[in-house]
Amino acid sequence: MKRFPLFLKTDPKKWSNWQWQEQNRLRNGSDIKSFFPRLSDNEVKTFNEYASKYKLGITPYLLSLIKLNKNGLPLTDDPVWNQFKYFSPEETSGPSDYDSRHENWEIPGEMPTPMIQHKYPGRAIIRLVNSCLGYCNYCYLTTRIIDKKYSSRKQNNGKIWSDTLSYLRKNPDITDVLISGGDPLLLSNSRLEQVFRDLKSIKSIRSIRLNTRALTHNPYRFDAGLVKIFKKYNLTVLEIHMSHPVELTGVVKEKLSLFDKAGYRPIIVWRAPLLKGINDDEKTLTALFNALYENRIIPYYLFHYAPYTLGRSTIGVSVKAGARIMQKIRRKVPGIAFPRYTLFHVDGKHDIPLEPSGTPGFVYKNSNNNNPVIKFKNWKQRWVTYQDIKDAPCRRKK
């Protein structure tokens, strides 16, 4: 693996310590300038402006995956860099981009406590923390996770956790819980063990899933102790998130092998969004689906870029364009390696049909101001409207 010159002398023990990786994350323009001395003042200023409003966090490990040009600057089309670098104000100003007012997923009526969301019958999401091991600029939970104005609000997690457990006890129809965040693996092994113990004490809960992006931000978080907890409490599904094949590194494979060494492996599934200039082409997605499959990870969801999410107008792709790409890949990968292409809507997720002109239950239209919208029948058989974005060339691949 190619490392940045500044990291060449790092003690390998430190490098592979997940806490060291967290402590040495890049958080603002000055940090970034120390790694890329030739970045222009203007660019550093934009980083600082972004970091004053939104969380920025790039681990040394992630930096080491970025390809550089001859001046030591990240390539403008680097698939890793473009997921974590800033958005300038112009890049976040399109229709249905983040505005901190519109919700794309969490709605108050579904949140019996600030930590649990009960959208569908039978299952619930628990958001243990509002922080992550690193920050993706396209996070669909912008308000909860990366907008500093909202995500840094203090809350009494002890009280919320006990209210959350009470809610689960009073609602035995919930048999499946998804532990999510932010990234729950930001918590220590001892705290996570307590969470599993509490959940397992509720007899109606039969399966537990856990969602993380640690394998991209900081794979060193996976240690033997964590795998032991997953085994002890029989984690049913591990949901992982990688947007490009370059993220499936040797370190990640080594970490996944800890499950085999422990004689236990949960079902591992993959989910990630479709991102313009990063993975929105047949070749990259085919390589990603095949690589996941070869490593016994089931490609489960390819998400359409969520409405009202930061940067949607810059690295989002139109629904039609996404369907066209997926249609081309359909017969090129084994069926089990072909994920659902799905959009987020406050009323529930919906699978996108791959037919180029839609279906009777999924209709492409244009709004009065000529922006694309889709009308579809949701899981409750109600017609709902979805704001899409126009097809446009990638502005970042210059």
Q: Which is nearer to ligand SF4, 141 or 297 (CB)?
A: 141
Q: Which residue, 303 or 362, is less far from ligand SF4 as judged by CB? A: 303
Q: How far is CA 99 from the centre of its chain?
A: 19
Nearer to ligand SF4, 220 or 362 (CB): 220
Contact between 378 and 384 under an 8 Å Cβ cutoff? The reply is yes
| Min dist. Cβ of residue 141 to ligand SF4 (A) | 6
Instruction: Specify the residue, 57 or 74, whose C-beta has the smaller distance to ligand SF4.
Output: 57
Q: Compute the least distance from the CB of residue 310 to ligand SF4, in Å.
A: 10
- CB of residue 144 vs ligand SF4: minimum separation in angstroms? 8
The residue nearest ligand SF4 at its CB is 139
Contact 394, 384 (CB under 8 A): no
Ramachandran category for residue 100: left, alpha or beta (phi over 0 → left; psi -120 to 50 → alpha): left
Give which of 306, 310, 272 is closest to 292, Cα–Cα: 272
- Taking the CA atoms of the chain, what radius of gyration do you get in angstroms? 21
Q: How far is CA 120 from CA 268, 284, 343, 347, 380, in A?
A: 22, 33, 16, 10, 10
Q: CA 53 to CA 102: how far, in whole Å?
A: 18
212, β-bridge pairs:
240
Chain positions contacting ligand SF4, by CB under 6 A = 132, 135-136, 139, 141, 145-146, 181-183, 213
CB burial readout 229-262, b (16+ within 10 A) else e: bbeebebebbbbbbbbbbbbbebbeebbebbeee
In one-letter notation, the amino acid at residue 211 is N
* 3-state secondary structure (DSSP) of residue 70: coil
| DSSP count for the chain of H helices, then E strands | 15, 12
What is the three-state SS of 249-306? CHHHHHHHHHHHHCCCCCEEEEEEECCCCCCCCHHHHHHHHHHHHHCCCEEEEEECCC
**Residue 231 beta carbon to ligand SF4: minimum distance, rounded to whole angstroms:** 24
CB of 182 to ligand SF4, least distance (A): 5
**Between residues 139 and 187, which has the closer beta carbon with respect to ligand SF4?**
139
Bond from prior residue into 182 cis (ω within 30 degrees of 0):
yes
Q: How many CA within 13 A on the CB side of residue 23?
A: 7
Give which of 245, 249, 208 is closest to 230, Cα–Cα: 208
The neighbouring-strand residues paired with 395 are none
Residue 132 vs 333, nearer CB to ligand SF4: 132
Which residue, 46 or 218, is less far from ligand SF4 as judged by CB? 218
Nearer to ligand SF4, 56 or 208 (CB): 56
By beta-carbon proximity to ligand SF4, the closer residue of 32 and 145 is: 145
Q: Please, which residue, 145 or 269, has the CB nearer to ligand SF4?
A: 145
Strand order in the sheet with 176-180: 116-117, 123-127, 176-180, 207-212, 237-240, 267-273, 298-303, 340-343, 350-351
Q: Which SS3 state, helix, strand or coil, does residue 233 take?
A: coil
